[in-house]
Amino acid sequence: MISPSTPPGLLLRMYRDMIRIRKFEEKVYLLFLEGKVLGTIHQYQGQEAVAVGVCSALRRNDCITSTHRPHGHCIAKGVPLDSMMAELFAKSTGCCKAKGGSMHMGDISVGAVPAIAIVAGGVTLAAGMGLAYKLQRSDRVVACFFGDGAVNEGAFHEGANLAAIKKLPVVFICENNFYAASTPMQLTTPVGIAERAAAYGIPGVVVDGNDVAAVYQATVTAVARARRGEGPTLIECQTYRTVGHSRGDAGTYRPKEEVELWKQRDPIERLRRSLIADGAAENEIAAIEAEADREIETAVAFAESSLPPQPEDALLHVYGEGVTP
Amino acid sequence: MISPSTPPGLLLRMYRDMIRIRKFEEKVYLLFLEGKVLGTIHQYQGQEAVAVGVCSALRRNDCITSTHRPHGHCIAKGVPLDSMMAELFAKSTGCCKAKGGSMHMGDISVGAVPAIAIVAGGVTLAAGMGLAYKLQRSDRVVACFFGDGAVNEGAFHEGANLAAIKKLPVVFICENNFYAASTPMQLTTPVGIAERAAAYGIPGVVVDGNDVAAVYQATVTAVARARRGEGPTLIECQTYRTVGHSRGDAGTYRPKEEVELWKQRDPIERLRRSLIADGAAENEIAAIEAEADREIETAVAFAESSLPPQPEDALLHVYGEGVTP
Amino acid sequence: MKRLSIAEALREAMREEMLRDERVFLIGEDIGIPQGFGGAFTVTLGLSDEFGHERVVDTPISEKAIVGAAVGAAMMGMRPIADVQYSDFLFCAADEIINQAAKMTYMSGGTVKVPMVLRAPVGATNRGAQHAQSPEGFFMHVPGWKVAVPATAYDAKGLLKTAVRDEGPVLIFEHKRLYGKGGRKEAGGLDLTSGIPDEDYCIPFGQAVVRREGADLTIVATLLMMHRSLAAADLLAQEGINIEVIDPRTLVPFDNETMLASVAKTGKLLIVEEDNLTGGWGAEVAARVADSGFDLLDAPIKRLASYDVPMPFAPVLENFVVPSVDRIIELARAMVKGKV
Amino acid sequence: MKRLSIAEALREAMREEMLRDERVFLIGEDIGIPQGFGGAFTVTLGLSDEFGHERVVDTPISEKAIVGAAVGAAMMGMRPIADVQYSDFLFCAADEIINQAAKMTYMSGGTVKVPMVLRAPVGATNRGAQHAQSPEGFFMHVPGWKVAVPATAYDAKGLLKTAVRDEGPVLIFEHKRLYGKGGRKEAGGLDLTSGIPDEDYCIPFGQAVVRREGADLTIVATLLMMHRSLAAADLLAQEGINIEVIDPRTLVPFDNETMLASVAKTGKLLIVEEDNLTGGWGAEVAARVADSGFDLLDAPIKRLASYDVPMPFAPVLENFVVPSVDRIIELARAMVKGKV
Ligand SMILES: Cc1ncc(C[n+]2csc(CCOP(=O)(O)OP(=O)(O)O)c2C)c(N)n1
Ligand SMILES: Cc1ncc(C[n+]2csc(CCOP(=O)(O)OP(=O)(O)O)c2C)c(N)n1
Ligand SMILES: [Mg+2]
Ligand SMILES: [Mg+2]
């Protein structure tokens, strides 16, 4: 079951976004095998409750920073599937005009900063975004996503420390899926991730990252704190990627039983059961799923029919462009 | 008074080294004003108990890493004053052949790695040194000195984490003098420094850094732990530099009363009082001081009479030199 | 017209930009501490008194956080002026500089701008290898960054203002030996102040200045080496050798035209830089002229730079490593006489 | 003689060096995990099974710690072979690389050695700007580092062995598109394996190889661009244009002599590199020839490199940015015909 006291309408909307992520990822995987999606992909299956729980607690003009595994974050923050799919197809209509690709997905107009594929690279940037909000006397907040692997990078430390000492409106979301690529967390990180919050004098909480309502509630609390000017919170969302690290990874370094166990904790299944138990109609849920399918089909069609960029477009957008004084 | 249960003979030896540091620094300051010592200097007056307490707990073949403020560490580890003074005079007989200067002082033959002037730069190197000892099945340890300012650098975090997870024989010595250049610690560091040890699952202790016996005892414990293969310890030594950050800094950003207060806690005075109380003879102490004066005079004479390097020497020592297979 | 040093001119530029545009703020180490340093070289002295500690942000010693925060704040519409105390520490934040700031606009398909300024002092001053580098060449190499190298107070003020108003990231390299009012031997004993107009001015990027005209040889040099080249040219003039000295003022964009026009006139090019020879910005400049200026040349292109060594501490060594007025004179004379 | 790919040859070199010298160990991310990746590109696969997890050290994602620990261990008498998963991440450890590893021996007056190897995969492979760079030029610029750029499996093995036995730090750049056995289109469809002798061999640093002889034009190129240049040369041979292709194999030390001897013969130089144009290693090479080879040249020195942009994701864009066989052919032909 999932945590109580989240409005049922919201839960349904969260279910919808989780389904959209899952189906998007499944489709992208097939398209990758077909050779239509190029480069590499790091997929989000199994972790949907984190992105959706967090982003549901944000306003549209709040921002997120993301990682090499950004599809889920982007969908949850509201990046249109059309432009995401087009980006993966390397089309000019992509959300980054085919310059970013899977690892740099984003759309600033909905608050999704282009994803940063340097592990922990987003942490110091998020601190700076929070600093901007503070200087602007805005009550915006930034949610900064990163993995368990990121907490051993110097960038995590410096960014978390700066955000803490300056009481910046940042919510640090560690998606602890217990592996960084093939490396299990216990080989690299001597303590629990949330425990590191104490090193910065900020709250650190552990939540069940496969319980979307729990993630949501923890984020609501952290966001409220941030908006009050009391500074950042570190939320460790324990979850699991039920797929490989990147395309082509069979995940042989993980015990089969472990993968199976986590598949049983599937966040979407859990939410579905909970919704049904709470009285949602099967056909309502089926309609949500069907709509997601349609949306993805449309996105694929959009991507397919879009034009690739012109080769010379490669030369655009290097500089912000200067003044002519 | 100072902490009990340190052998009196050792205390006298520690007194000797602390006096050597103090007098060396005072002389260097004058020589700097005379224009004989060039470049910049970051001096150690007031912090002598840290270097001496720590190094007294090390064996000769243990190593230290040091910082932009290395004179005290080097003297405590046994670098000859002659070659240190010659280095400051930019003479070819200097411990780094006049290539290093004040900020890179060191002598590997006594276990003092040339000092690293990038704040926190030594922390990852120390981890690697510990890793070497472990792989070599040696029981050597490395003591890694850094300031309070260093604990906010990514390098501190990455180095401490690696040492912790691999249980490397490293003792981290934070000399907390409460300022990083002009910046007071409370502006930059939200929690006590020793508290950060918990983020790496290692012991963190606070000691009175002006009590040489306390520093020594804490280091003995940490060194023993390291030699047993149980990993690093973070020791926060609270102390104060009674001089400016670097040559020419009048330290106007520090309240006068604070400086005065700490001058009253002078580690050398404290140790002297304690020695006398414990029955050391005034003239024994005076002899130690006189010997230090003589040693420094000799060092100055050595430096003065040494030759500068040849300009072309600048071209030597760039590469380790290759094999000729 | 008042005369200001580079440090003063930079301070005035920041002050005026902060008054003009409330999005501008400063971020760095030791920059705003009461009774403190005003940064490693006094450039920000007094600004926290005037603008408060919100707009003069004192940070922990965390170069990654300084640069990363500037990137993040710039993306959100602010105009940070960040600084590191010595340019050597840029390498502590190389990821933020090279992988984040430089690439964000591009990766986003032009939708995200990073209007930030990053200031960094360069040059060797008897402090040893980790406080001595002149890493302009590294960053000239990174598409996305513009790179300014002001050698005079007038330029420092005007280039910094242009930098603040640019929509993308701009690095400004300032030379430690040029901050002061001059008259010191290391800087060639020159007056290093400039007359500064009362009115607001910006200096466009990509416009070199011919600091001295001459028909026998073109020298391209920046920062301290520009001053040393001018001193060398003055002395050589007494021998009847006339050297043209060009100060590019910005390395990115680089004013190829002014340089090529000069080489067209002199037929000979000498590049003088303080960074070590291999792979410095002088290599790029030489390569450009060896391509598009090949037919203008009547002699090999020469570069005078620091030797390929880390910077040594000892003055006698450092003076040997860094190009001196004498070495410039010697090489320039030999080039003009056709002896090299 | 067996034939190995570059990945296999590197693995064999590491294995043999670990057997030969117990001071040698590996350190990096995902390099020794049971049933894991064997590093980002399988190079270390199996080595932890053979040598255990003490000598194949899996680290946290901490590039500063990886490089810093390698420096520290090397100072204490070990021979670490460290690696980062993509060369882009070298910038995360730029301080350790540029300020620590490169300068320690010098700052110590030659008393402390840092015999370490740092491996880094380069090249664009449709992954966008942060997993695509070819930063050889940056590090060629840093005195203290030697820099190897093996384009064949034979060289990869021999250069890595030399690197391990060197007393100073050595960077090895490996191209992602060349790790495999070849035959793939991106690599020009060539067989990328080499015959590897049974006996131990090292390849001395600073000795270029003339991969192909020709009298009309000299091309200097490394890694993937070397293979593309060879392919271009083969095609141009059908038009009667004879191109000499030189593979420097190490950028530091650089074999100026072999290159100049070739330019003496051809009078024309084209440098092809994958890094972006401004300030790449090609700039340095051009600058050297524009100086000491000036009299040998009868045409402008040309460089063909990636455009000065971050690397875009889309294949159509990436293919436009990175020099292709076609663009090499076009420029080489124009040069030989005197049209540029
Ligand atoms: C600085 C840096 N080092 C290494 C990598 C290569 N890399 C990409 S993803 C990854 C693992 C990340 O693990 P984690 O942070 O736990 O995120 P997850 O993949 O589990 O979502 C690694 C090592 C990188 N992108 N950036
Ligand atoms: C990476 C880096 N950033 C900045 C500096 C400039 N700097 C030198 S010493 C110093 C203050 C260091 O403070 P702390 O670590 O507390 O040592 P203390 O000087 O108090 O001994 C600073 C900022 C540096 N050397 N390295
Ligand atoms: Mg993970
Ligand atoms: Mg301090």
- The CATH number of the domain holding residue C327 is 3.40.50.920
Cis-peptide into D312, omega within 30 deg = no
Alpha-helical segments (H) within A198-280? 212-227, 256-264, 267-277
* Whether the predicted pLDDT of D190 surpasses 90: no
Residues of D in contact with C279 (CB under 8 A): 137-138, 140-141, 279, 281, 283-284
Q: Name the residue of B66, B119, B125 whose CB sits within 8 Å of the most ligand 2 atoms, as the mutation to test its pocket.
A: B119
What is the tens place of the pLDDT at every residue in C129-145? Answer: 999 999 999 999 999 99
Does one domain contain both C7 and C39?
A: yes
Whole-number pLDDT of residue B3: 66
Domain range holding D40?
Answer: 2-196
D61 in ligand 1 pocket by Cβ < 6 Å? yes
What is the tens place of the pLDDT at every residue in A150-200? Answer: 999 999 999 999 999 999 999 999 999 999 999 999 999 999 999 999 999
What spatial distance separates the first Cα and last Cα of chain B, rounded to whole Å? 62
Residues of C in contact with A165 (CB under 8 A): 60
Tell me which architecture the domain covering A8-175+184-300 has in CATH: 3-Layer(aba) Sandwich (3.40)
Any C CB within 8 A of D128 CB: yes
Cis-peptide into D253, omega within 30 deg = yes
Atom of ligand 1 at shortest distance to CA of A245?
19
Token output for D200:
């131990």
Whole-number pLDDT of residue A1: 59
Token output for D313:
């994701």
Atom of ligand 1 at shortest distance to CA of A147?
15
Q: Are D309 and C105 in contact (CB under 8 A)?
A: no
Does one domain contain both C191 and C66?
A: yes
Does one domain contain both C125 and C257?
A: no
Of B39, B181, B315, the CB nearest to C313: B39
What is the tens place of the pLDDT at every residue in D303-317? Answer: 999 999 999 999 999
% pLDDT > 70, chain B? 98
Any B CB within 8 A of A156 CB: yes
Does one domain contain both C30 and C112?
A: yes
Neighbours of chain A (3+ CB pairs under 8 A): B, C, D
Q: Name the residue of C41, C66, C85, C131 whose CB sits within 8 Å of the most ligand 2 atoms, as the mutation to test its pocket.
A: C85
Does C13 fall in a domain?
yes
Pick the more confident residue, C184 or B35: B35
What is the tens place of the pLDDT at every residue in C86-109? Answer: 999 999 999 999 999 999 999 999
How distant, in Å, are the alpha carbons of B227, D254, D325 from that of D11?
34, 25, 30
B177 in ligand 2 pocket by Cβ < 6 Å? yes
Please name the helix (run of DSSP H) or strand (run of DSSP E) that holds residue D156, with its range, or none. Answer: helix D153-165
Residues of B in contact with D74 (CB under 8 A): 128
Token output for B45:
């007056």
* Whether the predicted pLDDT of D47 surpasses 60: yes
What is the tens place of the pLDDT at every residue in B141-176? Answer: 999 999 999 999 999 999 999 999 999 999 999 999
Could you give the angle at the alpha carbon of C111 between the alpha carbons of C106 and C112, nearest 5°? 75
A150 in ligand 1 pocket by Cβ < 6 Å? yes
Atom of ligand 2 at shortest distance to CA of B147?
15
Secondary structure E strands in chain A: 63-65, 142-147, 170-176, 179-180, 183-184, 204-208, 233-238
Of B152, B155, B202, the CB nearest to A161: B152
At D286, the pLDDT band (50, 70, 90 cuts) reads very high
Any A CB within 8 A of B316 CB: no
Residues of C in contact with D260 (CB under 8 A): none
Does C81 fall in a domain?
yes
Whole-number pLDDT of residue A324: 54
Q: Are B144 and B123 in contact (CB under 8 A)?
A: yes
pLDDT < 70 regions, chain C: 184-188
Does one domain contain both C281 and C147?
A: no
What is the tens place of the pLDDT at every residue in B194-217? Answer: 999 999 999 999 999 999 999 999
Does D201 fall in a domain?
no
Rg (CA), chain C: 20
In chain C, DSSP finds a helix count (H) and a strand count (E) of: 12, 14
Neighbours of chain B (3+ CB pairs under 8 A): A, C, D
Q: Which of B156, D48, D25, B160 is nearest to A189 (CA)?
A: B160
Of A39, A87, A90, the CB nearest to D316: A90
Whole-number pLDDT of residue B325: 46
- For residues C76 and C74, give the distance between their C-alpha atoms in angstroms, rounded to a whole number: 5
Last residue of a domain, one of D150, D165, D196: D196
Catalytic one among D131, D141, D175, D227? D131
Atom of ligand 2 at shortest distance to CA of C89?
1
B147 in ligand 2 pocket by Cβ < 6 Å? yes
What are the DSSP calls for D158-214, one per residue? HHHHHHHHSSS-EEEEEEGGGSS-B--GGGTT-B--EEE-SS-----TT--EEEE--
Whole-number pLDDT of residue A325: 46
Ligand 4 center to B255 CA (angstroms): 16
Of A117, A181, A315, the CB nearest to D309: A315
Does one domain contain both D239 and D329?
A: yes
Helix/strand/coil (H/E/C) assignment for every residue in C219-278: EEECHHHHHHHHHHHHHHHCCCCCEEEEECCEEECCCHHHHHHHHHHHCCEEEEEEEECC
Does one domain contain both C11 and C97?
A: yes
Atom of ligand 2 at shortest distance to CA of B175?
21
What is the tens place of the pLDDT at every residue in B93-111? Answer: 999 999 999 999 999 999 9
Number of domains in chain D: 2
Does C45 fall in a domain?
yes
Does one domain contain both D6 and D117?
A: yes
- The CATH number of the domain holding residue C114 is 3.40.50.970
* Whether the predicted pLDDT of D284 surpasses 60: yes
A70 in ligand 1 pocket by Cβ < 6 Å? no
Catalytic one among C131, C141, C175, C227? C131
Does one domain contain both C60 and C108?
A: yes
As a whole number, mean pLDDT of residues D251-259 equals: 98
User: Under 8 Å CB-to-CB from A187, ≥6 apart: which residues?
Assistant: B165, D33, D58, D60
% pLDDT > 90, chain A? 95
Ligand 1 center to B200 CA (angstroms): 20
Pick the more confident residue, C174 or B325: C174
| B136 contacts D72? CB cut-off 8 A | no
- For residues B101 and B88, give the distance between their C-alpha atoms in angstroms, rounded to a whole number: 6
A148 in ligand 1 pocket by Cβ < 6 Å? yes
Does D204 fall in a domain?
no
A180 in ligand 1 pocket by Cβ < 6 Å? yes
Burial of D260 (0-12, 13-18, 19+ CB in 10 A): middle
Ligand 4 center to A284 CA (angstroms): 63
Contact residues, chain A to chain D, C-beta under 8 Å: 38-40, 87, 90-91, 96, 98-104, 116-121, 149-150, 152-155, 180-184, 187-189, 249, 252-253, 308-309, 311-315, 318
Q: Are D300 and C290 in contact (CB under 8 A)?
A: yes
* Strand D170-175 versus strand D146-148 pairing type: parallel
Does C201 fall in a domain?
no
How distant, in Å, are the alpha carbons of B181, C65, C127, D99, D307 from that of C92?
18, 10, 18, 9, 27
For residue C36, the Cα-to-chain-centroid distance in whole angstroms is 26
Ligand 3 center to A225 CA (angstroms): 26
Residues of C in contact with A119 (CB under 8 A): none
Does one domain contain both D142 and D227?
A: no
Q: Which of A149, C324, A152 is nearest to D62 (CA)?
A: A152
Does C240 fall in a domain?
yes
The answer to whether D141 is a known catalytic residue is: no
Residues of B in contact with D51 (CB under 8 A): none
Nearest CA in chain C to D109: C312
- For residues C157 and C12, give the distance between their C-alpha atoms in angstroms, rounded to a whole number: 7
| D292 contacts C287? CB cut-off 8 A | no
Last residue of a domain, one of C130, C162, C196: C196
Ligand 1 center to A236 CA (angstroms): 17
Whole-number pLDDT of residue C188: 60
The number of the ligand nearest the C-alpha atom of A156 reads 1
B32 in ligand 2 pocket by Cβ < 6 Å? no
Could you give the angle at the alpha carbon of C12 between the alpha carbons of C10 and C16, nearest 5°? 120
A103 in ligand 1 pocket by Cβ < 6 Å? no
B180 in ligand 2 pocket by Cβ < 6 Å? yes
Q: What share of chain C is helix, strand, coil (3-state, %, to 5)?
A: 40, 20, 40
pLDDT < 50 regions, chain A: 325
Report the predicted TM-score, pTM, of the whole model to 2 decimal places: 0.98
Whole-number pLDDT of residue D186: 59
Last residue of a domain, one of D173, D196, D219: D196
The residue to which tokens 């922390």 are assigned:
B123
Query: Residue A193 in 3-state DSSP?
Result: coil
- For residues C312 and C132, give the distance between their C-alpha atoms in angstroms, rounded to a whole number: 9
Q: Are D188 and D235 in contact (CB under 8 A)?
A: no
Sheet holding C56-58, edge to edge: C56-58, C24-28, C79-83, C117-122, C170-175, C146-148, C250-252
User: Under 8 Å CB-to-CB from A156, ≥6 apart: which residues?
Assistant: A120, A123, A146, A150, B157
